[in-house]
Amino acid sequence: MKLYLYNTLTRQKEEFQPLFSDYVGLYTCGPTVYNYAHIGNLRTYIFEDVLKRVLRFNGFTVKHVMNITDVGHLTGDRDMGEDKLEKGAAREGRSAWDIAEMYTIAFQEDMDRLNLAPPDIWCKATETIPEQIALIETLEAKGYTYATGDGIYFDTARFKDYTKLSHQNLEALQEGARVERNPEKRNATDFALWKFSPKDEQRQMEWPSPWGVGFPGWHIECSAMSMKFLGDHLDIHCGGTDHIDVHHTNEIAQSEAATGKPFFRFWMHGAFLNIAGGKKMAKSAGNFLTIQYALIEQGIDPMAYRYAAFQTHYRNPMEYSDAAIQGAQNGLSHLRNQVRHIRDACTEGDAKMPGEVYEELKAKFLTALNDDLNMPRAMAVVQEVLKSDMPPAWKLETVLAFDRVLGFDLDRVGEGEALPEEVQTRITAREKARQEKNWALSDQLRDEIQALGYVVQDGKDGMKVIKK
């Protein structure tokens, strides 16, 4: 079945075919590790995870590269402001290297909590400095660069298709960007390839280069890393929509200027998550919405956020509210219960599902997925299967196969799952009763829990409650 994906370059859905055979090179811009990821960032990573799983479900072999931006991303997109890593270090009184290490681990934990499959290659900007310098040297040799007092810049006027991704009006752009313009830049859209360390100050992260001690620009990092690890397999490059106008536009300009060849063929962008009720999500706000704060501390299973993300198409803005996430939590619990029930209803003697029945259901599921990752429709197909009159064993087999894309770990339903509230409150009350040696109340609560369908086991490590 053909796979259609929306390509930001052409502003239309196009049939996707890898450049070579069935091997897909996928590059997704990774986190800037100066703080925790917020749930908006994570929406983009969920979209990218689905993309990768859908490519694999279609039978492609995917090589996924994700970078860690651990230097060079400034607080202003157009090379103004401070380095986010050095800013994070000052905020927390630790070194920029420690900050990068700590928030990289935190990000990988968040990925785990959302069941985001890790990339095949993690790469760090600070570990690919020689490749970045080599790329700048190529651009210099081809006459695309110039020096200012604070760095080496890319001359965007020399690249004729500068706005081919953003479709912006170049003249208006040059005018509009003048306010924050560095007077030494030839064009407002020019961007730093290499920034010099301040003369009177030693930065924590800096390297020697042919132009002087300094650090790379954010955009050159992604160009160098994607070319290094994907070579000619430059199939799909992703990020959030905020990357279209500057970061990805600049990546394309410098990469194509350097190689003389088209850079990635497909550019895909996830729409933003917006917060209802004026809560702040941004990393710059004190208590911003991390998985820990927005979900776990509110009693929400992080996987419910994955479920919530599937209710909106990735190219539509998603509204986040307490009610919406609670609705997603209920939806996920319901789905898990459905799976539990069909699993309980399966028996040894059930007939095997004929291959053609599965193929037909898979085709339906793929029709939704291959229409530019239409997850709301794919989720509807899952419900159709669960509510059909097929034998439970067939339903289970189908839904577990689909779960390779959904990523809800439905084969592990029941393991360590949250208990219903009426059970949980009785457990808490029973623990208290036992501490107070009120054995009569403890026994009564045990009977109530059992009447709700759970078995209570008292062991030396405390009470264990398992579904009957």
Contact positions toward ligand AMP, by CB under 6 A?
29, 31-32, 40-41, 43-44, 239-240, 242-243, 270, 272-273
* Residue whose CB is less far from Zn ion, 244 or 401: 244
State the minimum distance, in angstroms, from the CB of residue 240 to ligand AMP. Answer: 2
Q: Is the Cβ of residue 65 or residue 410 nearer to Zn ion in the bound state? A: 65
Residue 226: CB minimum distance to ligand AMP, A: 14
> β-pairing, 61-68 with 23-28?
parallel
Does 227 interact with Zn ion (rule: CB under 5 A)?
Answer: no
Give me the least distance between CB of 257 and ligand AMP, in Å please: 23
Q: Measured from the CB atom, is 3 or 234 closer to Zn ion?
A: 234
- Least CB distance from residue 324 to ligand AMP, whole Å? 15
Residue 66 amino acid letter: M
Q: Which does 222 bind (CB under 5 to 8 A by kind): ligand AMP, Zn ion, none?
A: Zn ion
Residue 40, contacted partner among ligand AMP, Zn ion, none, CB below 5-8 A by kind? ligand AMP
236-240 and 214-216 strand pairing: unpaired
Q: Residue 166 or 333: which CB sits closer to ligand AMP?
A: 166
CA 337, CA 261: separation in Å to the nearest integer? Answer: 52
Q: Minimum Å distance from CB 71 to Zn ion?
A: 13
Would you say 139 or 268 has its CB closer to ligand AMP? 268
Cβ at position 106, least distance to Zn ion in Å: 19
- For residue 101, the partner it binds in ligand AMP, Zn ion, none, with Cβ less than 5 to 8 A by kind, is none
242 makes contact, choosing from Zn ion, ligand AMP, none, with CB < 5 to 8 Å by partner type, with ligand AMP
Q: Which residues contact 103 (CB under 8 A, 6 or more apart)?
A: 31, 33, 34, 35, 36, 88
20 strand-pairing partners: 23
Residue (82 or 360) nearer to ligand AMP, CB: 82
Residue 128 touches which member of Zn ion, ligand AMP, none, C-beta under 5-8 Å by kind: none
Residue 314 to residue 374: CA distance in whole angstroms: 8
C-beta of residue 123 within 8 angstroms of C-beta of residue 225 = yes
Part of the chain binding Zn ion (CB under 5 A), chosen from 24-32, 95-103, 178-186, 261-269: 24-32
Binding-site member from 29, 51, 74, 295 for Zn ion (CB under 5 A): 29
Nearest to ligand AMP by Cβ — which residue?
240
User: Which one of ligand AMP, Zn ion, none interacts with residue 151, CB within 5 to 8 A by kind?
Assistant: none
Report in angstroms how near the CB of residue 216 gets to Zn ion at its nearest: 12
- As measured in angstroms, the least distance from the Cβ of 28 to ligand AMP is 8
Closer to ligand AMP by Cβ: residue 40 or 151:
40
CB of 212 to ligand AMP, least distance (A): 27
Query: Closest approach of Cβ 27 to Zn ion, in Å?
Result: 8
Buried b (16+ CB within 10 A) or exposed e, 139-171: bbeeebbbebebbbbbbbebbeebbebbebeee
Q: Among residues 249 and 370, whose Cβ is nearest to Zn ion?
A: 249
Nearer to ligand AMP, 43 or 64 (CB): 43
Q: Of the two residues 9 and 381, which places its CB atom closer to ligand AMP in the complex?
A: 9
Of the pair 6, 365, the CB lying nearest ligand AMP is at: 6
Q: How far is the CB of 270 from ligand AMP (least distance, A)?
A: 6
Q: Which does 44 bind (CB under 5 to 8 A by kind): ligand AMP, Zn ion, none?
A: ligand AMP
Among 106, 116, 222, 406, binds Zn ion (CB under 5 A): 222
Which residues form the interface with Zn ion (CB under 5 A)? Answer: 29, 222
